[in-house]
Chain A
Amino acid sequence: KNEVEQSPQNLTAQEGEFITINCSYSVGISALHWLQQHPGGGIVSLFMLSSGKKKHGRLIATINIQEKHSSLHITASHPRDSAVYICAVLVGSARQLTFGSGTQLTVLP
């Protein structure tokens, strides 16, 4: 069993829809990252969370430490949001990220 599980693996939405991507982890963590990767491209860090909720533009990330669960929400989705969204966790004082397998999001116009 992977330490970091993401769902769904693939998600297709219509422009304007509200989108939720989920991440569950099985270990104690010091922080959780949400990352975005466009096709053929590098990775952009969207959020790093240790607790609570963060918002940036149309993106909202929440984390529940007790339930070992995080969600990434996209409001008013747009085709340019189409990308792979990756959840990654920092375990304790570890220097390395443990990555989920990613969620491929496609937003249709």
Chain B
Amino acid sequence: DTEVTQTPKHLVMGMTNKKSLKCEQHMGHRAMYWYKQKAKKPPELMFVYSYEKLSINESVPSRFSPECPNSSLLNLHLHALQPEDSALYLCASSQGSLGPYEQYFGPGTRLTVT
């Protein structure tokens, strides 16, 4: 199984809503990543979890709150987002974080903030 799954596929939320994105992998990978991708741009790294601990936070606003409850699951909690946060949010995983290890990406969650 080389699959990273993400739910939901699409999400529309208002600026006062609280929602969560979910990412799951069952490859035994110990590093998981959140990326944000705007249209026609490459992905931008947001967070890296290594062995369930946050190891990199790329100066992401606090309205994005990551959580790694176990080695297979990664959540991104969203609160008080702005319209400019509308983007494709991609999750990825790799065997470890001190590479080089291949990263496997999920299908993404298309987020629209109204």
Query: Chain A: residues with CB nearer than 8 A to chain B?
Result: 30-31, 33, 35, 40-45, 48, 50, 86, 88, 90, 93-97, 99-102
Interface size on B, residues (CB 8 A): 25
Q: Are B108 and A97 in contact (CB under 8 A)?
A: no
User: Which residues in B have some Cβ–Cβ distance to A below 8 Å?
Assistant: 6, 31, 41-43, 45, 48, 50, 55-56, 88, 90, 92, 97-100, 102-108, 110
In the bound complex, residues from chain B placing their C-beta under 8 Å from that of A96 are: 45, 48, 56
B100 close to A90 (CB less than 8 A): yes
Q: A43 is contacted by which of B41, B45, B55, B90 (Cβ under 8 Å)?
A: B90
Listed A/B pairs (9) with beta-carbon separation below 8 Å = A35-B105, A41-B108, A43-B90, A43-B92, A43-B105, A45-B103, A45-B105, A95-B98, A101-B42
Task: Compute how far the CA of A93 lies from the CA of B61 in the bound complex, rounded to whole angstroms.
Answer: 26
- For the complex, what is the distance from the CA of A99 to the CA of B104, rounded to whole Å? 15
Contact A86 B42 (CB under 8 A): yes
Having A94-B99, A95-B48, A102-B42, one finds 16 other A-B pairs with CB under 8 Å, namely A30-B100, A31-B99, A31-B100, A33-B102, A43-B43, A43-B90, A45-B103, A45-B105, A88-B42, A90-B99, A90-B100, A93-B98, A95-B97, A95-B99, A96-B48, A97-B45
